[in-house]
Amino acid sequence: MPEREADALLRARGVSRSFGGLKAVDDVSVDVHRGSVHSVIGTNGAGKSTLINVLCGEIQASEGTVELLGQDVTRWSQPRRARAGLGRSYQRNTIYAPFTVLENCRLSAQAALQRPWDWLAAAERCEASVAAARHALERAGLTTQAHLVAGTLSHGQKRQLEIAMCLSTMPRVLVLDEPLAGMGPEESERMLALLEGLKREHGILLVEHDMDAVFRVSDQITVMVNGRVIASGTPEAIRANEEVQVAYLGEAFAD
Amino acid sequence: MDPVVFLVQCLNAVQYGLLLFLVASGLTLIFGIMGVINLAHGSFYMIGAYMAYALAPWVQQLVGGGFFATLACSVALSVLLGYVLEWIFFSYLYEREHLQQVLMTYALILVFEEMRSILIDNDVHGVSAPPSLAGTVPLGELMTYPVYRLFVSGVCVVVAAGLFWVITRTRLGMTVRAGASNREMVQAMGVNIKLLYRVVFSAGVGLAALAGAIAAPVSSVYPGMGNQVLIICFVIVVIGGIGSIRGALLAALLVGFVETFGTVFFPQAAGVLVYVLMAAILLWRPEGLFRTA
Amino acid sequence: MSEQEGSPAASLASRLVPVVLVAVALAAFPFAGSKFGIDLLTRIMILAIFALSLELLVGQTGLVCFGHAAFLGIAAYVTALLTPQSAPAPLLLLLPAAVLAAGAYALVVGALSLRTRGIYFIMVTLAFAQMAYYVFHDTPLGRGSDGIYLYFRPVLSLGGWQPFDLDSGHTFYYFVLASLAFTFGLLALLVRSRFGHALAGIRVNEQRMRAAGFRTYAYKLAAFVVAAMLAGLAGFLYALKDGFVNPELLSWHQSGAVLVMIILGGLGSLRGAVLGAFALAMLQELFQSSTVFGEFARHWQLTLGFTIIACVALMPNGLVGIGRQIGRRVFQLRWRHA
C-alpha cells in the first residue's frame, strides 16, 4: 500500500525521554498512516510503553516532536490530544467496572460533546453519545452485552470493551497497547478480525508480543531494543533482517 | 535584630523543628511502609506528655526515680501500647481504603481523648525539668539560654542519627525499606512481615511519645496538644514527601523556623504562615520535596 | 451509583416513594412536634444539607476531603459579620454573599489542593481548613474564640412586600426544609447529568477519563466549588439558627463528623447522606442523655468513638446498604411465595 508523507496521521520525530540518567526512549521516529497498521515490537524494557505514553501525552518528551493530523502536539496534554482524534487502549483493563458496558462507551463518547454546565439533561438520554456508543459496541461485537455490568464480563470481552471505549471517541488514530494480552486462540482471532476491519478507516499503532498476530496484521514493523530503533520496514524485510533475528526473534525465525 | 536574640530564636527554631521531626518521622514511616494514614498519631504525643506528668509520682514512690526514670517508663509503656494497638486494631486497617482508615483513626482520637479525660483529667499541667538540667547557659553578655532546651535538641539529634543509622546501615532497616516497596517478596523470603510491621508501628508510637514526654517541661501538658501537633506533622509530611525521612527532617526544620520567626515578626498571622508555606510548596512541587513512594 | 435490579419503573418508584414520604413527614412535623423537636429537626436538616454537599465530593467524585467544615464556617462567619448590629440585613444580599465567600475560598484552596492526590489531598484539605480556623481564632477578623452574635435574621423584601418573617421558629423551619429540598433536588439532577456522570467516571478511573478527552482537573475543581457553596448554604442557615458563630464551626471535629455522617448513611447515595446526618445527630443525643447513660453521659465521645469504629468495620455500605439488604430479602421472600 503506497504511503505518502501527506497521509501520516501520527508522526513522532526524534523522540527521546529520559528518567534521571536513564534514557528510556532514544531518538525514535515513527509514522502512522491512514489505512495501515504500524507495529512496534521489542523485548521487555525496550521502551515501548514509554514511547506510547509520550505519543499519547501521558508523559512529556524530553526531546523531539510529536505531530497529530499535521499539528505539533508535543506540548499538548493527553485530554487535548484525545479530543483532537487520538484514541488509546491500555494493556491492563481500564474499563469502568461498576458501570454497564453501554455506559462505559457512552461516557467515553461524551468526551466529544461534554456540556458540563447542562444539569437538566440526563446523561443517559444524550442521543449523540448513546449513538456513538452503540456504534462502537457494534464494531467491537459487544451489542448483546450492552446492559451487563462491565465487571462481570470475561477477560476477552473486557479487552473488546477496552477497544470499544477507544472507538467511542471517534478517533482518527488508534494507539493499541497489547490488545491481545491474556487472550486464548479463539478470542485472538476475533480481535485480529476486528483490527483488520478497523484498519480501513483509521491509522493504527500497535504494540504486541504475539508475533504471529503482528506479522499477520502489520503493514510496517519497527523494532526497538534498549530504547532505540534497530530496524523498521515491511514484515518481510524485518523477518529477513539479521540484526533483528539475533536481538529478538530467535533462531526459530532465522531462514 | 540583635545578634544574640537572633541566635536565641534560631536555637528555639531548631529545637522546635527537631521535636516535630521526631513525631513526623513516625507518621511518615507508618504511612510509607504500611500505607496507613493515622490521624491518631498526635494522640501518642499527647499520651507521652501526660504520662510524663501522671507517672512521675508513681515512679518516685515505687523506684525512687526522678525525671529520667519517668521518661524511660513513659516511653516503654507507650511502645508497649503501640505494640498492642497494632495487634488488635491497626493491623486490620492495612488493606482498607483511605477513607475508612481516616474515619477509624479519627474515632480513635475521640477514644484517646476521653480515656485521658477519665484516667487523668482535662487540665493544663506543668512538668518541671530535672534539677540537673534546670540551669541556663550564658549567651553574650545579657542573655541566657535554658539548658533543658539544649537537652531536648540533643536528644532529638541523637534519635534522628540513630534512626538514619538503623534505616540505612542495619539489616532491620534494609528489611523495612524492602517491605515498603514489595511486601509479598519480603514475605516469600521468610521475613515475618507481621512482626516487622508491629515493630515499625511501635517504634513510631515510641518516637511520638518520647517527643511528647521531653517536650512537656517546655510546652506544658494540655488537652489539645496532640491535635495541634498532628496537623503540623501533616504539613511536614506533605512538604517533605511521604515515606522520606530526609524530607521529614528538612521540612520539620523549615516549619520550625517559619513558625518561630513568624511569631516574632507577625504575631497575629503566625498560625497561618505555615500553611502559606505549604501552599507555596504545593504550587512548586505537588509531590513534596523528596518523593519516594 | 450502583445499578438496581428489577424494572426501571418499579426501581424509580421504590426510590422516590421513601423520599416523598420523608418530605411529607418533615413538612407535617411542626403541627404536632414540641419546640425542642422542631429545634432539633431544624439543626438536623441543616446538617443534612452539609452532608449532602460532602456526598457530592466524596461519594460521587471520590475526593476524600477532610476540611469541609471550613466552607460551613466561612459562610457562617460572613453571615454574622455582614449582619448589622442594629437592623436586619437583606436576605438577597446576605445569602449570596455567604455562599460566594465559601465558593471563593474553595476556588483558591481547591486549585492548590487538587494538584495532589490520595493521602496528600486528605492532609492538604485538613491543613487549609485549619488555616481558616486560625484566621478566625487568632486574628481580629473573627473576634477570637468567643465568637460573634447575630441579633437579626435577614429579611426578604420584594419592593416593600415581605413574604415571610424568618424570626418565627416555624417559618425558619420551613425555610430550612425548602433549602434541604432544593439541595437534594439540585444534587439529584446533577448526579444524573453529564457533569455527574463525568465525576463518577473520574472516581472510578481518572486516567481513563483523561485518555478519553476529559480535563479532569477542571471537573474536580468545579465539583469542589459547588460542594463548598452548598456547604456555605448550610453555614448560612447554621449562623441564623442559633444567632451565634464561633471558630469551632471550622474545627476538624466538624469535618470529621460530616464524614462520619455520609459513611454511616451509606456512601454513594444522596438519601444516605440525609439518613446519616439524622442518625449521627440522634446517636449524639442518645449518648449525651444522662437518663440512659447516667454519669457516663459526660464521656459520650468515648461511646461515639467506639460506635464509629464498629460502624465502619461492620457496615461498609452504611444504613442504606443495610436497608437494601433487608429490601432484597423481603423481595425474595415475596417472590418465593408468589
- Interface membership of C215 toward A (CB under 8 Å): yes
- Residue C220, sorted as left (phi over 0), alpha (psi -120 to 50) or beta, turns out to be alpha
Distance, CA of A13 to chain centre: 18
Compute the nearest-CA separation of C270 from chain A (Å): 16
Set of cell numbers at residue B143: 542573655
For cell 517508663, the residue is: B73
Pick from B117, B238, B276: CB nearest C299? B117
CB contact under 8 A, C201 and A96: yes
Mean of per-residue pLDDT scores for chain B:
85
Give how far Cα C198 sits from Cα of A210, B87, C57, Å: 35, 41, 13
Domain residue ranges in chain C: 18-337
CB contact under 8 A, C210 and A108: no
pLDDT(B217) > 80: yes
Looking at the domain assignment, is residue B290 inside a domain? no
Closest CA to B68 of B187, B151, B164: B151
The span from the CA of A72 to the CA of B284, in Å, is 27
List of chain C residues whose C-beta atoms are within 8 Å of the C-beta of residue B287: 116, 120
Backbone angles phi, psi at B93, to 5 degrees: -90, -15
Give how far Cα C334 sits from Cα of B266, C5, C323, Å: 71, 15, 16
Task: Give the pLDDT mean for A129-146.
Answer: 90
pLDDT(A3) > 60: no
The span from the CA of A132 to the CA of C247, in Å, is 52
pLDDT along chain C (338 residues), means of 10: 51 77 86 86 95 96 94 95 86 93 96 87 90 87 83 82 80 93 95 94 94 94 97 96 91 91 91 93 88 80 90 86 81 65
The span from the CA of B102 to the CA of C22, in Å, is 31
pLDDT(B260) > 70: yes
List of chain B residues whose C-beta atoms are within 8 Å of the C-beta of residue C256: 103, 106
The span from the CA of A221 to the CA of A214, in Å, is 8
Compute the nearest-CA separation of A55 from chain C (Å): 12
For cell 530467535, the residue is: A250
pLDDT (0 to 100) of residue C163? 81
Residue A137 banded pLDDT, cuts 50, 70, 90 = very high
User: Which of A107, A129, A161, A168 to mutate to probe the C interface, most C CBs <10 Å?
Assistant: A107
Containing B138, the helix (H) or strand (E) segment is: strand B136-139
* Euclidean distance between the first and the last CA atom of chain C, given in angstroms as a whole number: 30
Set of cell numbers at residue A9: 496521521
pLDDT(A2) > 70: no
pLDDT (0 to 100) of residue B272? 83
- Contact predicate A169/A84, CB 8 Å: no
- Interface membership of A127 toward C (CB under 8 Å): no
CB contact under 8 A, B98 and C301: no
Residue A113 banded pLDDT, cuts 50, 70, 90 = confident
Give how far Cα A16 sits from Cα of A32, A174, A177, B137, Å: 18, 21, 19, 60
List of chain A residues whose C-beta atoms are within 8 Å of the C-beta of residue C213: 79-80, 82-83, 111-112, 169
Pick from C204, C210, C216: CB nearest A96? C204
Domain residue ranges in chain A: 1-85+173-255, 93-170
Specify the CATH number for the domain of residue B64: 1.10.3470
The span from the CA of A76 to the CA of C195, in Å, is 24
The span from the CA of C294 to the CA of C298, in Å, is 8
pLDDT (0 to 100) of residue A250? 57
pLDDT (0 to 100) of residue B45? 94
pLDDT(A54) > 90: yes
Tens digits of residue pLDDT in C92-117: 899 999 999 999 999 999 999 998 88
Looking at the domain assignment, is residue B289 inside a domain? no
> What is the per-residue burial (b if ≥16 Cβ within 10 Å, else e) of C165-186?
ebeeeeebbbbbbebbbebbee
Tens digits of residue pLDDT in A149-191: 999 998 888 999 999 999 999 999 999 999 888 888 888 888 8
- Mapped to the 3 state alphabet, what secondary structure does B144-181 carry? EEEHHHHHHHHHHHHHHHHHHHHHHHCHHHHHHHHHHH
Looking at the domain assignment, is residue B45 inside a domain? yes
Task: Give the pLDDT mean for B240-252.
Answer: 86
The span from the CA of C83 to the CA of B39, in Å, is 37
Q: Is it true that domain C18-337 has CATH number 1.10.3470?
A: yes
- Residue C58, sorted as left (phi over 0), alpha (psi -120 to 50) or beta, turns out to be alpha
Most confident of A61-65, B16-20, B183-187, C32-36: B16-20
Q: Do chains C and B touch (3 or more CB pairs under 8 A)?
A: yes
CB contact under 8 A, C211 and A168: no
- Contact predicate C232/C71, CB 8 Å: yes
Which range, of A96-105, A106-115, B200-209, C158-167, averages the lowest pLDDT? C158-167
Tens digits of residue pLDDT in B89-98: 888 888 788 8
Domain range for B151 is 3-284
Mean of per-residue pLDDT scores for chain A:
87
CB atoms within 10 A of CB B265: 10
Give how far Cα A181 sits from Cα of A95, A160, A184, A208, Å: 15, 11, 9, 8
DSSP string computed for C56-85: IIIIIT----S-THHHHHHHHHHHHHHS-S
Contacts of B213 by beta carbon, 8 Å cutoff, 6+ apart: B48, B49, B51, B52, B70, B71, B74, B75
Q: Which residues pair with A19 in a beta bridge?
A: A22
Residue A254 banded pLDDT, cuts 50, 70, 90 = very low
Q: A65: buried, middle or exposed (CB in 10 Å: 19+, 13-18, 0-12)?
A: middle
Looking at the domain assignment, is residue B256 inside a domain? yes
CA angle (C102, C194, C51) in 5-degree steps:
40
Give how far Cα C28 sits from Cα of B102, C33, C184, C279, Å: 38, 9, 19, 20
Tens digits of residue pLDDT in B113-137: 999 988 888 888 888 888 887 888 8
Tens digits of residue pLDDT in B66-82: 788 888 889 999 999 99
Beta-sheet pairing, A37-42 with A203-207:
parallel
Task: Give the pLDDT mean for B102-113.
Answer: 92
The span from the CA of B18 to the CA of B15, in Å, is 5
The span from the CA of B159 to the CA of B164, in Å, is 9
pLDDT(B112) > 90: yes
CB contact under 8 A, C213 and A149: no
| Fold of the domain spanning A1-85+173-255 | Rossmann fold (3.40.50)
CB contact under 8 A, C131 and B272: yes
Backbone angles phi, psi at A199, to 5 degrees: -50, -35
ipTM of the complex: 0.89
DSSP string computed for chain A: ----GGGEEEEEEEEEEEETTEEEEEEEEEEEETT-EEEEEE-TTSSHHHHHHHHHTSS--SEEEEEETTEE-TT--HHHHHHTTEEEE-SS----TTSBHHHHHHHHHHTTS--TT--SS-GGG-HHHHHHHHHHHHHHT-GGGTTSBGGGS-HHHHHHHHHHHHHHT--SEEEEE-TTTT--HHHHHHHHHHHHHHHTTSEEEEE-S-HHHHHHH-SEEEEEETTEEEEEE-HHHHHH-HHHIIIII-GGG--
pLDDT (0 to 100) of residue A248? 64
Containing C281, the helix (H) or strand (E) segment is: helix C270-288
Task: Give the pLDDT mean for A47-57.
Answer: 90
User: Which of C2, C183, C186, C193 to mutate to probe the A interface, most A CBs <10 Å?
Assistant: C193
The span from the CA of B119 to the CA of B53, in Å, is 12
* Euclidean distance between the first and the last CA atom of chain B, given in angstroms as a whole number: 42
Tens digits of residue pLDDT in A201-244: 889 999 988 888 888 899 999 998 888 888 888 988 888 887 77
Backbone angles phi, psi at C2, to 5 degrees: -80, 155
Residue B170 banded pLDDT, cuts 50, 70, 90 = confident
Residue B72: helix, strand or coil by DSSP?
helix
The span from the CA of A39 to the CA of A222, in Å, is 6
Closest CA to C110 of B277, B234, B282: B282
- Interface membership of A118 toward C (CB under 8 Å): yes
List of chain A residues whose C-beta atoms are within 8 Å of the C-beta of residue C198: 107, 110, 114, 116
Compute the nearest-CA separation of B188 from chain C (Å): 28
- Interface membership of A252 toward C (CB under 8 Å): no
- Interface membership of C7 toward A (CB under 8 Å): no
Residue of C nearest to A147 (CA): C3
Q: Do chains B and A touch (3 or more CB pairs under 8 A)?
A: no
Q: Give the number of domains in chain B.
A: 1
Residue of B nearest to C260 (CA): B103
Neighbour subunits, C (≥3 Cβ pairs < 8 A): A, B
Looking at the domain assignment, is residue B93 inside a domain? yes
The chain B residues in contact with chain C (CB within 8 A) are 31, 37, 92, 98-100, 102-104, 106-111, 113-115, 117-118, 227, 231, 234-235, 237-238, 242, 268-272, 275-276, 278-279, 282-283, 286-288
CB contact under 8 A, C204 and A56: no
